[in-house]
Amino acid sequence: MPDPTAARLFDTPMPLPLSALQNSPSFKALQPHAERMAQAQHSMRTLFANNPRRFAEMSLEAAGVFLDYSKNRIDGPILQLLLDLARERGVESQRDAMFAGEKINRTEHRAVLHTALRAPRSARLSLDGQDVIAEVHQVLDRMAAFSEQVRSGGWTGYSGKPITDIVNIGIGGSDLGPEMACLALRPYHHARLRLHFVSNVDGADLEAVLRSVQADSTLFIVASKTFTTTETILNAQSARAWFLRFAQAADLPKHFVAVSSNSALVRQFGIDEENMFPLWDWVGGRYSIWSAIGLALMLAIGPAQFAQFLAGAHEMDRHFQHAPLAANMPVLLASVGIWNRNFLHCSALSIAPYHQDLNRFPAYLQQLEMESNGKSVGIDGQPIMYASSPVIWGDCGTNGQHAYFQLIHQGSDITPVDFIAALHPSHILPGHQEQLLANCFSQSEALMRGKTADEVRTDLGHAGIAGSAAEALVPHRTFPGNRPSNTILVEALTPATLGALIALYEHKTFVQGVLWNVASFDQWGVELGKVLAKKIVAQLGHQEDTASDCDHHDSSTNGLIARARAVLSKQAMSE
């Protein structure tokens, strides 16, 4: 099979057929608009100047989330065609199939029902004869009862002390969601409980946490859907070994609970079923914060606030299900992303939360979007001949402004930005919030407007720099502008608005996956990582210095293994 990536990257004349997406009438009709938008009279500066209603026309609110997508290189006809494209590619029917529990995860033959995890008790949904909503609420009730006990101090450690520290051991989807959400909802935390997250198999991660906690007041949550993930199981075993230096095996049930769908392995690890909170195969790892994987979050903020978190997401679900495409926030956000990726050829999207508590949100979205849509084969198994997920990266504002924003303003690639802010601060320090928001809004304005050479000359003139000295500086101080961004605002970062914000991006990712026709709910690239290291681990652990053991790889890998073995075996001998 020819490598489609090569065709895209090097423009080689490979005779590959156009895909259904590229053949769709709206996709074809959109192409000339990209050229049109490159002309000066269609720059965003001009579009704003010519239409005072642009912001009003290109912004909307749903589930407590406000989206301004007016600072994109789009206009009415483009937007219309993008929405036609969504319709032609079956976004509405695919969406309905997902909510109805159809097995839309075709490569794993599973339903995709994270939306059922936040449906109210009164909702109805059955899957393979099981009452999904009843099962979900049964687990939520168990989580709530457990959380209440821990939070009230009724659940005590082996010495009778209440729990003070909670250590979530998990990785990927079993770590990023709870960690991101716990950080985001910091002001809602129970005063006695400190939350820790251990994911990396690098023992430094666990060791640092173990140094900061006391065994008799620490609760470990081993969070692993499969309970086979090497990093998590090794970290959990090391945590248990550490714990048993202070306590007896009989004390384990007070200090170790599990979240998993694999009860046999949980039992084998030594955790009783009554200390295990289940999840189902129709919950993808990166969509699992709403399930028992959210236990750390529920412990931190309490069952009532966790219910608000679910309710916020559910409100966004209802909006996504029922709003017409032209007023449907996830569809609009996804469509603008498709325009930037497939027509303006932007290969990255930067996430800039102007809120310190959303520190881990870029990493969370990185997994959500890149793991879901980082694919180059369509659902039909054929190579796709267009770009799919952009690279998602970013950091909190205003820090990013003092670092990589240089590239965003003046770099050779155009990187769209999603600015995210809460209008109310989550602190009481005067003056900070105005600074923060001013920075957020002025960055998107500067990206859109840019600065012309004449404007630079005027500025230089005011600073007393003229003539050749000024002309030498002009190209460096000119900003092209016309660089796209979205701004997403919530009134305050609460459990409900955080839930809605996450659900917005989940559905955006879903819509883009449908348009790109990729299998958004599998992750074979991640699965590969889970098996690749196994062979080398065995080779690294081999103490005899016989190079032939690791000769099965290429010379680079063999050489790296040999170097590591030499150091590790010396270290083992000196211990």
Report the C-alpha gap between 190 and 211 in whole angstroms.
22
User: How far is the C-alpha of 365 from the C-alpha of 251, rounded, in Å?
Assistant: 38
Question: In the range 345-374, which residues lie near ligand G6Q by CB under 6 A?
Answer: 371
CB of 519 to ligand G6Q, least distance (A): 13
Stretch that binds ligand G6Q, among 107-115, 147-155, 167-175, 327-335 (CB under 6 A): 167-175
CA–CA separation, 472 and 470 (whole Å)? 5
The sheet with strand 218-223 has its strands ordered as 194-198, 165-169, 218-223, 256-260, 276-278
Catalytic annotation, pick one of 371, 409, 507, 508: 371
Closest CB 259 distance from ligand G6Q, rounded Å: 8
Burial zone of 573 (CB within 10 Å; 0-12 exposed, 13-18 middle, 19+ buried): exposed
**Could you say which of 103, 451, 530, 542 is catalytic?**
530
Q: Could you confirm whether 530 is annotated as catalytic?
A: yes
What is the rounded distance in angstroms from the CA atom of residue 13 to the CA atom of residue 86? 29
User: Are the beta carbons of 84 and 26 closer than 8 angstroms?
Assistant: yes
**To the nearest whole angstrom, how small is the minimum distance from the Cβ of residue 205 to ligand G6Q?**
15
Given candidates 101, 172, 450, 495, which one binds ligand G6Q under the rule CB under 6 A? 172
Q: Which is nearer to ligand G6Q, 94 or 174 (CB)?
A: 174
Nearest to 502 by CA among 313, 371, 367: 313
Q: Which residue is nearest to ligand G6Q (CB)?
A: 172
310/315 Cα distance (integer angstroms): 9
Closest approach of ligand G6Q to the CB of residue 438, in Å: 37
Map residues 102-141 to x or -, x wherever contact with ligand G6Q holds by CB under 6 A. ----------------------------------------
The answer for residues whose C-beta is within 8 angstroms of residue 237's C-beta and 6 or more apart is none
- Is-catalytic flag, 371? yes
**Can residue 526 be called a binding residue for ligand G6Q (CB under 6 A)?**
yes
Of 306 and 364, the one with the shorter C-beta distance to ligand G6Q is 364
Place of tokens 């802010």: 421
By the rule CB under 6 A, 285 interacts with ligand G6Q: yes
Binding residues for ligand G6Q, how many (CB under 6 A)? 15
Which candidate in 109, 322, 402, 534 is catalytic? 402
**Which CB, 226 or 478, lies closer to ligand G6Q?**
226
Question: Which residues lie below 8 Å from residue 514, measured CB to CB, with a gap of 6+?
Answer: 86, 89, 90, 91, 94, 95, 520
Q: How far is CA 413 from the centre of its chain?
A: 23
Q: How far, in Å, CA of 438 to CA of 144, rounded?
A: 40
Give the length of the chain: 575
Report, in Å, the least distance between residue 2 CB and ligand G6Q.
29
- The stretch among 30-38, 166-174, 335-343, 548-556 that binds ligand G6Q (CB under 6 A) is 166-174
Residues 220-279 that bind ligand G6Q (CB under 6 A): 224-226, 229, 232
**Span from 115-123, 282-290, 355-363, 453-461 in contact with ligand G6Q (CB under 6 A):** 282-290
Annotated catalytic sites, by residue? 371, 402, 530
Residues that bind ligand G6Q (CB under 6 A): 171-174, 224-226, 229, 232, 284-286, 371, 523, 526
